[in-house]
Structure 1
């Protein structure tokens, strides 16, 4: 497979809500001290990669993580995208995970299919269409994407189910830790999931509990 682009998907660093197992959804929470350190560590890990484009969710925890990474990437601007937001969880947002239950009447919650549709629409526009518009070159283009655990996992599972993405042997889509790196190599039509939720670059601090990855 000829690689046209490499997409590096990063989950934001830790927040106090992660530590307290609070469901964030689209609440605009901030990185805590550990999260800032995690962002700096993932920035160091990605320093050898020269990014052509950088995108992030417009929520602060993702945008700040992206900004820290781009301190190592002079000249690369950041574009914030609302489609990269975490799943909207309605009345569960701000509640402790496991101590509350979704009411069947809460029609505000973004359904799983709607969330997957949003993730796939973002992928088609920002990756598939973008790739088709690029002039060919010897080295693959590199895209930085900073988002949320639920979004990254949902996107990966949706791409795999659609047949557009094949995981490498041993790569499993499961828990997506804070400040972890997932990597897709994309040919323009199909892709290969090279790694998922890799947090080996984090040498200090807890990864935090991914309270966003609630399945309903």
Structure 2
């Protein structure tokens, strides 16, 4: 059965778990998570802040979906979860079209990208320029300036600056994203643990670059905070039977 759920209320009430606590939710069951970023969109090519907004998948994006679907065609997925935004839904449907049988699939708001509030659909350079000016640095040295700010306040602090400069007050702060990522992971792990049998559970998760990085840092805290995942790349995290330690088996791999 395919269903859609919303989850902002649950995320607001969540308490961040440690990687070991998330692993314990598996009840000793082995688990493999395939985390897939959505295909390339028009906003990706235009370097526009996308967040909860959406734009069409490009011709290259459709080729990426076909390639990742081919790569994963030999996998047996017991469950699938996807952000409910069109770009992730289309990517997930392309992958699942190569699966037989198609696993139970859930499309959920909890797996959406970071919400950028009034910065949505703005050129990313404009937004980052405002952050740089706000911290008293020179805009013409954008990349080094952003790294300098991140060195001082961390990458979470950098995105909190984006939220603070959002006039609408709707942009998500890093702490809220962490809690939403925790909620999403707990739900996925518990659903996998509830599957009949005791074989390793294979789970597909289709989401967004920024949010997958947030999911990954919840499970493997040492992951570089500024990692950029390519469109339709596959990141694999596994949990051995009876273990409380997550293993990063591959990050940002493309077909």
Which one of the candidate residues 3, 24, 31 is aligned to 2:50? 24
Q: Which residue of 2 aligns with 1:210?
A: none
Listed as ranges, the gaps of 5+ residues in structure 1 are 202-216
Q: Is the 8 A contact 1:63 1:80 kept in 2?
A: yes
Please tell me whether residue 148 in structure 1 is matched to residue 148 in structure 2: no
State the partner residue of 1:108.
Answer: 170
In our comparison, the structure showing a higher alpha carbon Rg is: 2
Classify 1:104/1:179 alpha carbon distance in 2 versus 1 (closer, same or farther; 3 Å). Answer: closer
Report 1:1-150 matches (<5 A). 4-76=30-102, 77-100=104-127, 101=130, 102=162, 103=165, 105-127=167-189, 129-137=190-198, 139-150=199-210
What residue is the counterpart of 1:206 in the other structure?
A: none
Higher helix share: 2
Greater mean alpha carbon deviation, residues 190-199 or residues 63-72: 190-199
TM-score normalised by the chain length of structure 2: 0.69
CA distance in 1, matches of 2:67, 2:187: 30
CA shift, 1:28, in A, is: 2.5
Offset of 1:131 from its aligned partner? 3.7
Q: Does 1:184 align with 2:237?
A: yes
**Aligned pair in 2 of structure 1 residues 194, 64: CA closer, same or farther (>3 Å)?**
same
**What RMSD in Å do the two structures reach over aligned CA positions?**
2.2
Instruction: Report which stretch shifted further, 34-43 or 71-80.
Output: 71-80
Distance 1:174 1:64, change over 3 A: same
| Structure 1 moving runs of 4+ over 4 Å | none
Aligned length: 190
